Structure 1
Amino acid sequence: MGKLTTHVLDTAHGRPGAGVKVALYAVEGGARQLIREDVTNADGRCATPLLEGDTLRPGRYELAFGAGDYFAALGVDLPSPRFIDTVTIAFGIAHADQNYHVPLVVSPWSYSTYRGS
């Protein structure tokens, strides 16, 4: 059985993004349904997979990361409004028997993602 995991890497400070709020949504027909909320640990990861086993189903999803609040809590001098605030990554799961790792690599000025293993 597959699983969905994530982690946050803070490239501005060269460390894991600890304490970042993460929300997972299922997206169907244009509507978002909140599945789970979590906060990253000291390693920048959620302690358990966001989805696994029977809860991992093919479909469209979104991960929303509270990056702006994370950088503000660190005391980073951010403009108002923030350039990077809530980072939303829209992605699809095609095969429930595979692992999907969707990390966020972020600074106050940029972000990227990729499908990891």
Structure 2
Amino acid sequence: MKTGLTTHVLDLTNGIPAKNVKVELIKIHGPNEEKEFVATAFTNEDGRIDSGLLPDIQAGEFELLFHIGTYFLMVGTTVSNPIFFNIIPVRFSLSTDKSHFHVPLLISPWGYQTYRGS
């Protein structure tokens, strides 16, 4: 059974897993929303980050920053100038009632979708 926080990025434009996407994890603190950098990782050949972001679940509010503009440039996908969706922030809250949370992201240069995965 997996534990911690994982993610999976799928490139809908090219129909492939999005490999080498930089993903940063930020923890949000308090009413002033102070941001604390937690980790950076890159998706693997399958577009996944299965460890390294948050190995042990902590309660709180977090944000994943997906650097998809750089990814689309690397794979040669035509993008606008400036890139319309360069960095996608996904903000969510975790509780300690589960030991694993999965946040997938489906991407194109013009849109994205996310959900709470399993």
Both proteins in one fold, TM over 0.5: yes
Deviation at 1:95, TM superposition (A): 2.5
Aligned with residue 37 of structure 2, among 30, 34, 39: 34
TM-score, normalization by structure 2: 0.90
Structure 2 alignment gaps of length 5 or more: none
Deviation at 1:49, TM superposition (A): 4.8
- Of Structure 1 and Structure 2, the greater strand share is in 2
Q: Give the Cα separation in 1 of the matches to 2:15 and 2:72.
A: 13
TM-score, normalization by structure 1: 0.91
Give structure 1 regions of 4+ aligned residues with deviation exceeding 6 angstroms: none
Deviation at 1:97, TM superposition (A): 3.0
Deviation at 1:64, TM superposition (A): 0.2
Question: What RMSD, in angstroms, separates the aligned Cα atoms of the two structures?
Answer: 1.6
The answer on 1:22 being equivalent to 2:17 is no
Task: Report % sequence identity.
Answer: 39
The residue number in structure 2 matching 1:73 is 74
Structure 1 alignment gaps of length 5 or more: none
Range with bigger deviation, 9-18 or 44-53: 44-53
Q: Number of residues paired by the alignment?
A: 115
Q: Give the Cα separation in 2 of the matches to 1:105 and 1:66.
A: 13
